[in-house]
Amino acid sequence: MKSTVGTAGEEHRILVVQGEYVVTDDPTAVLVTLLGSCVAACMRDPVAGIGGLNHFLLPGDDNRSDQMRHGVHAMELLVNGLLARGARRDRLEAKLFGGARMVTGLTDVGRQNALFAERFLQRESIPVVNSSLGGDQARRIQFWPVSGRVRHLFVEKQANTVFEAERRRPTPVAPVNDGAVELF
């Protein structure tokens, strides 16, 4: 978890990268992240004036050492972090973002992440008051945890991604075996 200390009157931007979470009651804090197939949960207790955001890569938890990349661990840490700082479970509300399908033809991890987050919150009786999940574009998220305000912007698709370039590359043709031996 990152610490959050802001200066009066100025917004205090805190970058939350994959595998991290932040909980704060700093009214100047703005939590920011960039999501593709990953999901971020923005959660808060509006009465206590405290909120937080996580950013996870995979829906399940396969007990590897990089647990924070997994939704189960990330969601538990965020909820418990909020409760430890004075939030009450019965007042928590959530907003979900991300879960895009970034590469067609591969497993849709984004959809799996989105479904996991929705099911987790339903199971924990935490209402989802807003969400922007799925699609095929990355999102830039800004979350003001004390007020609950969120700004999300779709990131322009890059026409020449590495994956697209690889798909357009012609398949190599094996050389004809004419019986010659080349030594080097």
pLDDT tens per residue across all 184 residues of the chain: 454 444 456 899 999 999 899 999 999 999 999 999 999 999 999 999 999 999 998 766 544 444 445 778 899 999 999 999 999 999 999 999 999 999 888 888 999 999 999 999 999 999 999 999 999 999 999 999 999 999 999 998 765 454 555 556 565 555 666 666 656 5
Domains of the chain, each with CATH number or no CATH: 12-159 (3.30.1330.200)
Catalytic residue flag (residue 38): yes
Q: Please check whether residue 59 is in contact with residue 180, taking contact to mean a CB–CB distance below 8 angstroms.
A: no
Q: Which of 67, 47, 51, 30 is nearest to 151 (CA)?
A: 30
Marked catalytic residue, from 16, 38, 57, 79: 38
At residue 3, the pLDDT reads 42
At residue 57, the pLDDT reads 83
At residue 24, the pLDDT reads 97
At residue 179, the pLDDT reads 66
At residue 103, the pLDDT reads 85
146-182: b (≥16 Cβ within 10 Å) or e: bebebebeeeeeeeeeeeeeeeeeeeeeeeeeeeeee
| Dihedrals phi, psi of 16, to nearest 5 degrees | -115, 110
